[in-house]
Structure 1
């Protein structure tokens, strides 16, 4: 898990064929501007497929900064 003040963000990888979110990884947002896409093994289809970056959570676990 990335630290709170880190430039690395936690992202999920979604399979293009099935739409399952199987893998999570961290990404340096300063070095990689575009979406991350990796070819990884999909255990549902038992094949190597292309996985594309998406948000880690769908708004459930994101904490907004407090106003001071």
Structure 2
């Protein structure tokens, strides 16, 4: 039986740095850099930095 191939894109969780517990899920290339982007956090009602975290 052949070994299972790894996917090209992986699912990641973008966690708010405002420590509200709010997060987005998205995909990124497996070999790409870790994601960090400004997105809207509805808990604090403004745009904050979201950084990549692991999905459990």
Coarse TM-score class (shorter-chain normalised): 0.7 to 0.9
What is the SS of the residue equivalent to 1:39? strand
> By how many angstroms is 1:9 displaced?
0.7
Structure 1 unpaired stretches of 5+ = 58-68
2:18 maps to which residue?
17
Structure 1 length-normalised TM? 0.66
Q: State the distance in 2 between where 1:48 and 1:28 align.
A: 24
The aligned length equals 52
Bigger relative CO (Cα 8 Å, ≥ 6 apart): 2
| Contact 1:12–1:21 (Cα < 8 Å) also in 2 | no
Structure 1 residue ranges (4+ consecutive) displaced by more than 2 angstroms after TM superposition:
none
Instruction: Show the counterpart of 1:51.
Output: 50
Give the superposed CA RMSD.
1.7
Using structure 2 for the length normalisation, give the TM-score.
0.78
